[in-house]
C-alpha cells in the first residue's frame, strides 16, 4: 500500500516546538509520508526564522508560503490570513496530501483549515478544545468546527470538544508534543552553553550564572492599542528589580509593533544593564534556559504547558492565557507594576514548593500522534453530534 501523505503546516516559530516530535514520528513511521509546509512568520528573520532550525533537525521542506503583510495590526492580520488561504490552497492542490494538519490557535492557522476543508481534504487539528484570551480563542474553536479529526492535549480539552458536538470517535487525547521535548530536557537539565555566546542577541553582557529571569511577553490582539504600555510596564519592573534577565522578542500579532517599539525605545533610553534580548532559540535550549531560571515572566503559553511539567515558577501577566488549565506553578497578575513586582517576588520566595504536573502529557505525544494518523479512518465530512 502507498504511504499516507500527511501535510503539516507550521506558520510560526512557537508552532514548531508544538509539533516537532510529531514531525519526527511521522517521518519515521513506515506507513506515513511527511509533507512539511513552512509559512507565515516562521520564514521571517525578524521573528527568529525557524527554517534554519527545522533544516538542522533533518526535515525536508516541501513548500514555503510567504504570506505575512507588514503592519502588525488588525487589518494586516486579516489580510495575512486571506493571502494564506489563497497560497495554501495552491500548495495543497500541488502536493495532493491525504490529510492536512493545522496546529493550535494562532490567527493565521485558520487559513490552513479553510484551504484544506474547502478542497475536501481531511483536516486534523492539534490542540483544540482549550480556552484562551486573545483572537486565539475564536480561531481555535473555528479550527475545531472545520476539522474532521481532533488530537487534543488534555482531558479538559477533550471534554470541551464533546460539548461542542464533535464525534467522540474522532477525538484523541495525545497530550502536547512540546511536553515530549520537555521530558527529554528533564532527563538532562544542565545548561551546557552560554546563551549570549551561542545566540548573540542584543543588550548588556549580563552576569546570569548566579540566577536569572526569563521574560516572554506577546501583544494581546483584543488589547491592541495597549501593547506598548503593557510591555513598558513589565520592562520597568524587571529593570528596577535588577535581576539578570533574558528577554525574548514577541510573536507576529496585532500589536507586535507596539511591543517591539516599546522594547527598542526602553532599551535605547534606559540601557538596562540587567536585561539581554533574544529573537529565538532551538526548543531544547530554550527549555533548558527555562528549567534553570528562577522564574518565567510574561504571557506565553509555555508558562502554562512546559513549565508546569518542568516545575518552573511562572508569573502570568494579563488576559492572554485566560481560562486555560494551569498548574500550581502559575500565579496570575494584572498589568499593574506593583502586581507584577509582587508576583515575581512571590514566585522567587516559593519556588521550592511548586508541584509538577502532567496535565498536558507525559512525554510520548509524538508517537501517539503518528500512530493515530496511520490508523484512523480519514474523512472530510461530518455533522454535529446532537
Write out the chain's pLDDT in tens, 386 residues. 799 999 999 999 889 989 999 999 999 999 999 999 999 999 988 777 789 889 999 999 999 999 999 877 889 999 999 999 999 999 999 999 999 999 999 999 999 999 999 999 999 999 999 998 778 899 999 999 999 999 999 999 999 999 999 999 999 999 999 999 999 999 999 999 999 999 999 999 999 999 999 999 999 988 888 999 999 999 999 999 999 999 999 887 777 889 999 999 999 999 999 999 998 899 999 999 999 999 999 999 999 999 999 999 999 999 999 988 899 999 999 999 999 999 999 999 987 768 899 999 999 999 999 999 999 999 999 999 99
pTM (2 decimals)?
A: 0.92
Cell of 169: 470517535
Cell of 42: 516562521
Report the distance separating Cα 53 and Cα 36, nearest Å.
14
Report the distance separating Cα 19 and Cα 26, nearest Å.
11
Q: Please check whether residue 156 is in contact with residue 130, taking contact to mean a CB–CB distance below 8 angstroms.
A: yes
Cell of 65: 508560503
Q: Please check whether residue 373 is in contact with residue 174, taking contact to mean a CB–CB distance below 8 angstroms.
A: no
Whose grid coordinates read 504547558? 305
Q: How big is the CA angle at 48 (ends 43 and 49), to the nearest 5 degrees?
A: 25
Dihedral sign of CA atoms 319, 19, 293, 50 in order: negative
Report the distance separating Cα 229 and Cα 223, nearest Å.
10
Amino acid at each position: 500500500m502507498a504511504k499516507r501523505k500527511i501535510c503539516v503546516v507550521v506558520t510560526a516559530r512557537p508552532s514548531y516546538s508544538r509539533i516537532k516530535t510529531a514531525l519526527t514520528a511521522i517521518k519515521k513511521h513506515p506507513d506515513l509520508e511527511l509533507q512539511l509546509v513552512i509559512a507565515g512568520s516562521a520564514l521571517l528573520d525578524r521573528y527568529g526564522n525557524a527554517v534554519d532550525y527545522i533544516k538542522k533537525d533533518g526535515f525536508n521542506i516541501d513548500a514555503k508560503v510567504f504570506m505575512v503583510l507588514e503592519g502588525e495590526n488588525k487589518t494586516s492580520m486579516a489580510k495575512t490570513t486571506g493571502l494564506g488561504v489563497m497560497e495554501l490552497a495552491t500548495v495543497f492542490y500541488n502536493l495532493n496530501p491525504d490529510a492536512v494538519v493545522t496546529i493550535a490557535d494562532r490567527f493565521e492557522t485558520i487559513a490552513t483549515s479553510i484551504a484544506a476543508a474547502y478542497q475536501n481534504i481531511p483536516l486534523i487539528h492539534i490542540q483544540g478544545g482549550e480556552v484562551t484570551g486573545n483572537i486565539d480563542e475564536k480561531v481555535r474553536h473555528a479550527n475545531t468546527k472545520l476539522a474532521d479529526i481532533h488530537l487534543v492535549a488534555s482531558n479538559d480539552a477533550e471534554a470541551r470538544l464533546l460539548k461542542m458536538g464533535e464525534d467522540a470517535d474522532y477525538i484523541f487525547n495525545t497530550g502536547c508534543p512540546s511536553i515530549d521535548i520537555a521530558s527529554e530536557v528533564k532527563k538532562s537539565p544542565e545548561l551546557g552553553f552560554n546563551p549570549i555566546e551561542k545566540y548573540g542577541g542584543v543588550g548588556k553582557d549580563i552576569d546570569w550564572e548566579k540566577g536569572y529571569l526569563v521574560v516572554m511577553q506577546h501583544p494581546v490582539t483584543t488589547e491592541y492599542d495597549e501593547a506598548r504600555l503593557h510591555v513598558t510596564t513589565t520592562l520597568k519592573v524587571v529593570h528596577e528589580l535588577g535581576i539578570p534577565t533574558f528577554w525574548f522578542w514577541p510573536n507576529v500579532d496585532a500589536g507586535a509593533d507596539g511591543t517591539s517599539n516599546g522594547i527598542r525605545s526602553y532599551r535605547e533610553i534606559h540601557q538596562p544593564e540587567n536585561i539581554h534580548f533574544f529573537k529565538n532559540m532551538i526548543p531544547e535550549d530554550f527549555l533548558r534556559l527555562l528549567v534553570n531560571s528562577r522564574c518565567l515572566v510574561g504571557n506565553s503559553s509555555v508558562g502554562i504547558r512546559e513549565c508546569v511539567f518542568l516545575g518552573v515558577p511562572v508569573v502570568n501577566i494579563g488576559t492572554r492565557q485566560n481560562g486555560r488549565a494551569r498548574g500550581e506553578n502559575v500565579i496570575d497578575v494584572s498589568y499593574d507594576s506593583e502586581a507584577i513586582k509582587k508576583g515575581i517576588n512571590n514566585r522567587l520566595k516559593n519556588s521550592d514548593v511548586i508541584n509538577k504536573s502532567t496535565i498536558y502529557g507525559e512525554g510520548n505525544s509524538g508517537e501517539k500522534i503518528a500512530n493515530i494518523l496511520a490508523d484512523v479512518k480519514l474523512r472530510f465530512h461530518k455533522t454535529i453530534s446532537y
